[in-house]
Structure 1
């Protein structure tokens, strides 16, 4: 939403394409977490590429807007790594899995805000 709003505010044309239904099949509970981390790393690299391009062409407004995404992706990768580590350490028992479930149930979504 933030990126789309930024593009619209700067007279860029935005086209939203269809997203294919995922076809992933996982052999265990750890595989989707690892796939999630890999996806977060991919998103981080795409944001970094956008930032580098903005830097090269001295587009400071875009760099400022992307700062939020750079910070957010750092947090997302950390969360994904922590979840994988927690799972490897504690999910070997029903009690451990229950405790992990309780831990992650306490996370709440906070809608992104970004000063412009």
Structure 2
């Protein structure tokens, strides 16, 4: 059984993961509005992945006999200047998620909650992957700047993203 404090922190993370999902859905919609079908596809995959993260945390709480609590969330931003700004915001957000997960891990260390520490290893590894993936896209977008052909090729490549 995990502590009430730990359950509260994981519940907060569940809600942050759902916010992340809706942020990516907003990005998908804005990308589609701007004509970038590939980027929209990429963000929709990210939307699905963030929902899976929330459910994984929720399942862990259930397995630990703790109550899952879903809170109301703020509406995510809905419009960006361009794809580069979207992905820069995505990277900034992923860095926040990494910090939140690290904070939960720190609490697990303090409480000697080895089960939670073990569960968090997957999320810590996932965040390294998440940030690297977004950084790669930012690099491609920066290299494509000023070239419509390169931007279209980048968008096409983003549309090739499969389930991770």
- TM-score, structure 2 as length reference: 0.63
Corresponding residue for 1:89? 143
Q: How does 1:1-116 map to 2 (within 5 A)?
A: 1-110=55-164
Residues in 2 aligned to 1:7 and 1:103: alpha-carbon distance in whole angstroms: 37
Unaligned runs of 5+ in 1: 111-116
Q: How many residues align?
A: 110
Deviations 1:24-58 (A, max 9, x none): 54233321111110000000000001011101111
Deviation at 1:21, TM superposition (A): 2.1
Residues in 2 aligned to 1:83 and 1:105: alpha-carbon distance in whole angstroms: 12
Q: Which structure has the larger Rg over C-alpha atoms?
A: 1
Greater relative contact order structure (CA < 8 Å, 6+ sep):
2
The CA RMSD over aligned residues, in Å, is 1.4
- TM-score, structure 1 as length reference: 0.87
SS in 2 for 1:81: helix
Unaligned runs of 5+ in 2: 1-54
Following TM superposition, the consecutive aligned residue runs of length 4 or more in structure 1 with deviations greater than 3 angstroms are: none
Going by fraction, where is helix more abundant, 1 or 2? Answer: 2
